[in-house]
Structure 1
Amino acid sequence: MSSAPLLSVDWTDHVTGRRGHLVVDRLVRGVASGGLRMRPGCTRAEVAGLARGMTMKEALHYDPEARYVPLGGAKGGIDCDPRDPDAYGVLVRYLLAMRPFVERFWTTGEDLGLTQDLVDRAAAEAGLVSSVQAVFPLLDDEAEARQRLADAFAVEVDGIGLDALVGGCGVAESVLAVLDRAGEPYAGARVALQGFGTMGGATALFLDRAGLRITAVADERGTIVNPAGLDVPALLAARDAYGTVNRGALRPGDREEAGYAWLSADVDVLVPAAVSYAVDAGNQAWITARWIVEAANMPVLPEAEELLTARGVTVLPDVVVNSGTNAWWWWTIFGDVRADADEAFAYTRKSLRELVGDMLDRADKDGTTPRAAAHALAEDRMAAIAERYGWY
């Protein structure tokens, strides 16, 4: 895979001066997939790294027998606080500027700082048919595919949308797969999470239901800790749209600690599920967990991972672990799964468990890290896709 992306576009909002970026890393059948994030400090380099990750996430789910054929990788990013009063206007104007790309070859959706409802509303205001309309020419029956996706987004489980659960289901299954491989029981296994929004909250829910003990959850206000285990359903019910928990829901045994306390929590599994670049060469020294499972995109910096690996901490990479949300969209649109929660969860669990197994098998065979193994698998599968469909 070449080191340079196929296309990089920079944008400046004429009203506020805010900056935005679009990076298309690769096209497959003329289309690329990747979400749009909004956060203060978002850079072109960050977006390029995320776009490269999307290329790998797509390729890793290549199944020659499936209806879904993976797309290329892309990503969008806007340097703006999503809580800023100007944020929605910035989002609409960004999509207006990027409309030709969205119409022709960039399929996008929610990412950090944005919900799918907000992206859909802004896309409509920008005159777009859909944020994923570039994929429609690849489908056998566009109307049927759009109806499947609409039906899937209407499915709720215990008051939470299926689209907000399926990614966390994949992260949780990655955790369970690595515990099974190590011969570790679920009961009593301790987990700390950074982030309690869509991905972190759903991951906590599925792990809690599997019998693991969630002992620390970090949000914007700090870290909530209870060594005996937090009441995950109660915390989920008490969070706002940004994943911040109302402290009025805490129980007597719960305590509040500093925002960075999740890093040093006495746990078996650490799940960074919020921002990129959360674990660096300095704070990695606080980590005592045996496994780090990347629910967020790019949360562990390369120099930190090298140090963690040297002291026996295994990092399961984002390109595998959090790939379930993106894959579920396409499994649904292309018709591999129906708009049914049980079917979606079963398909996600099976796919992620197989992918984690393939990655760890490759790591053992090559004597490398899981990340290096995932990248090698992605290269192999990208070559197979290129042989079948060409390079663009």
Structure 2
Amino acid sequence: MSIAVEEKHTLTTQPPLLEVTWTDPVSGCRGFLVIDRLVRGVCSGGLRMRKGCTLEEVRGLAAGMTLKESLYYRPENRYVPLGGAKGGIDCDPHDPDMRGVLARYIHGISALLETHWAMGEDLGLQQKLIDNVIAELGLQSSIQAVYPLLEDRASAIERLDKAFRIDVDGIGLGELAGGLGVAESVLTALDELGRPIAGTRVVIQGFGSMGGATARYLARAGMLVVGIADANGVIVNPAGLDVETLLKSRNSFGEIDRSALRSEDAELPSSRWLAVETDVLVPAAISYCITPENQSQITASLIVEAANMPVLPAAEVLLAARGTQVVPDFVSNSATNAWWWWTLFGDIGDDAEQSEAKIRSEMRRIVTDMFARAGHRGITLREAALAFTADQLQAIETRFGRS
């Protein structure tokens, strides 16, 4: 889908520092890297792979990463937020040669990866695959650009490695961090709105690491996950789906094995995911999927963005006019990034309980501030979150300069 520039949310006021367009000499696929901002010479952001990925898309995502990083700035922390960046490859992750395309892309931008861009997984790619390709190319790590900022590199790397090997009820801690942050955003928003948690219905689009973890934590909090959309359609049950069973049945692309469904579960076509009756909607799969044309189908009064840029600005205006509030992506889906750096820099250890407590407390602090600003100033949640990040970015710039 091609989206005009004027349709995008305004994220940062300065233009990106660097934009790279790469063409694969074998397949002709194009890849992109946008460095929005550097802090202490380093930026952070994931690499995604999807058919139709564009430079414009990556540019917006990189600006969003600048905001995500700034959310967690606290002068007393070991972790000092980095600048924002993003990579993208226009290739179907199901393509048989996707691994070759990925390897050639990483080789092509390796100089920036070694010195400036700390990179992790994003849509269509898993960290394990990225790590394998990085090792084959003779690079140290996908995040080696941040190593010069560490006080004790060996201990930091060992701590993060141990954290990634922690299993929490069958799922790796690294896969759960982002969804836990989304779930805590939902729970905090419901508290701020004075609404109950137990029995409140939620529909989630996407059942990969982000959507799956969100579903787990919301179900465990007592919410009813009444709908889950994956690439093959929508699974619904107004009494609530068996989230843990569905998590065990999914493949590496977040697709649910339909043989795991119970007799009381029903299936709907993919086009019906917005129309499922619910109180909360969590788009956790693709960008630009809620438009002015389809937003009228939504019954939810609260949308929490787990995917990057899923709600178009014009759709958000129409949703606001009928009382539906939107928690913006750069707030709600920021926990994965923060968890990596808290662990690496030593603000938390390689411990599941400590990780969960840190994610929940910081997310609740940020979302509560956003609601307070919105209520005090009579502005939207997005405008309030942007005001918060503007204050944070100014504090970072004052301390480290602008780049």
User: What band does the TM-score fall into relative to the shorter chain?
Assistant: over 0.9
Equivalent in the alignment of 1:296: 307
Equivalent in the alignment of 1:169: 180
TM-score, normalised on structure 2? 0.96
Q: Is the 8 A contact 2:192 2:371 kept in 1?
A: no
Within the alignment, does 1:80 sit opposite 2:91 as a pair? Answer: yes
Which residue of 308, 315, 320 corresponds with 2:319? 308
5+ long unaligned stretches in structure 1: none
Equivalent runs, 1:67-216 vs 2, <5 Å: 67-216=78-227
Within the alignment, does 1:272 sit opposite 2:283 as a pair? Answer: yes
CA distance in 2, matches of 1:47, 1:317: 17
Q: Is the 8 A contact 1:192 1:267 kept in 2?
A: yes
Q: Is the 8 A contact 1:187 1:212 kept in 2?
A: yes
Q: Is the 8 A contact 2:230 2:254 kept in 1?
A: yes
Residue 185 of structure 1: how far off its partner (Å) = 1.6
Equivalent in the alignment of 2:6: none
Q: Is the 8 A contact 1:99 1:126 kept in 2?
A: no
Residue 207 of structure 1: how far off its partner (Å) = 0.3
Amino acid at match of 1:245: I
CA distance in 2, matches of 1:260, 1:213: 22
Deviations 1:137-192 (A, max 9, x none): 01101111100110100100111100001111111101110111122221110000
Equivalent runs, 1:1-392 vs 2, <5 Å: 1-392=12-403
Amino acid at match of 1:131: S
Q: Is the 8 A contact 2:121 2:127 kept in 1?
A: yes
With 260-269 and 247-256 compared, the bigger mean Cα shift is at: 260-269
Amino acid at match of 2:51: P
Amino acid at match of 2:132: R
Residue 384 of structure 1: how far off its partner (Å) = 0.3
Residue 262 of structure 1: how far off its partner (Å) = 2.0
Residue 260 of structure 1: how far off its partner (Å) = 2.5
Amino acid at match of 1:144: S
Deviations 1:219-274 (A, max 9, x none): 00000010011000111111111000000011011000011322111111000000
Residue 125 of structure 1: how far off its partner (Å) = 1.9
Q: Is the partner of 2:96 in helix, strand or coil? A: coil
Q: Is the 8 A contact 2:208 2:253 kept in 1?
A: yes
Residue 3 of structure 1: how far off its partner (Å) = 3.9
Amino acid at match of 1:128: L
Residue 126 of structure 1: how far off its partner (Å) = 2.3
5+ long unaligned stretches in structure 2: 1-11
Q: Is the partner of 2:121 in helix, strand or coil? A: coil
With 198-207 and 182-191 compared, the bigger mean Cα shift is at: 182-191
Amino acid at match of 1:325: T
CA distance in 1, matches of 2:387, 2:113: 30
CA distance in 1, matches of 2:376, 2:132: 47
Q: Is the 8 A contact 1:272 1:295 kept in 2?
A: yes
Residue 49 of structure 1: how far off its partner (Å) = 0.3
Amino acid at match of 1:96: H
Residue 366 of structure 1: how far off its partner (Å) = 2.1
CA distance in 2, matches of 1:260, 1:387: 48
Q: Is the 8 A contact 2:184 2:360 kept in 1?
A: yes
Deviations 1:255-294 (A, max 9, x none): 0001132211111100000011110110101001010000
